[in-house]
């Protein structure tokens, strides 16, 4: 039997081409990579197919906007594009990161094999990646995304603030 539920939090920081460099780079460096949950958010996360989502935009001075989202993936409820969780798996789960320009953006990092690590009971695993996207109009958007996963029977408001037991990182130089 699998101990507990899988809890997920996604933190994404967005900025534009004009926001590169200082002083905005300093502001982004101070952005938290994980957040505590309110009691209401914690109760909502106990439902199936939900996750905590926090977005911070350069255009709003990187002020966090926090919500609990319903996760609709047609084939796999534990798939967020570049990040997926095989759950249940043995006594826990497997967290997998797969680079693609569609989900992660530029610069191109292929060929790169998927990266994976186990997630056991009451362990926190964090996946961090970044990328650059362009529009047909030539506008650039940058993203820094952090996923945190924990498998637990005892969810707590601060559970995503713990030090991760394992991490997967794919951070490119976005100059």
Look at the pTM and tell me if it is higher than 0.85.
yes
Q: Does pLDDT of 131 surpass 90?
A: yes
Given this model, what pLDDT does residue 171 score? 94
Given this model, what pLDDT does residue 92 score? 86
For 75-82, which contacts have Cβ atoms below 8 Å and span 24 or more sequence positions? 77/48, 77/49, 78/6, 80/8, 80/10, 80/51, 80/147, 82/129, 82/145
**How sure is the predictor about 12, in pLDDT bands with cuts at 50, 70 and 90?**
very high
Q: List, in order, residues 6 or more apart from 113 with CB less than 8 Å away.
A: none
Given this model, what pLDDT does residue 56 score? 97
């Amino acid at each position: 039997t699998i101990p507990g539920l899988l809890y997920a939090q996604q933190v994404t920081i967005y900025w534009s081409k004009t926001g590169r460099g200082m002083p905005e780079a300093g502001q982004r460096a101070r952005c938290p990579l994980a957040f505590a949950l309110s009691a209401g958010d914690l109760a909502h996360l106990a439902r199936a197919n939900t996750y905590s989502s926090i977005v911070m935009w350069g255009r709003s001075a990187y002020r966090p906007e926090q919500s609990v989202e319903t996760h609709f993936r047609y084939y796999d409820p534990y798939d967020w594009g570049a990040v997926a969780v095989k759950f249940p798996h043995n006594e826990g789960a497997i967290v997998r990161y797969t680079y693609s320009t569609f989900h992660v953006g530029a610069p191109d990092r292929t060929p790169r094999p998927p990266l994976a690590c186990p997630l056991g009971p009451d362990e926190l695993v964090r996946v961090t990646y970044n990328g650059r996207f362009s529009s047909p109009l030539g506008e650039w958007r940058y993203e820094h995304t952090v996923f945190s996963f924990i498998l637990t029977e005892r969810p707590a408001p601060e559970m995503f603030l713990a030090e991760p037991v394992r991490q997967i990182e794919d951070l490119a130089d976005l100059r």
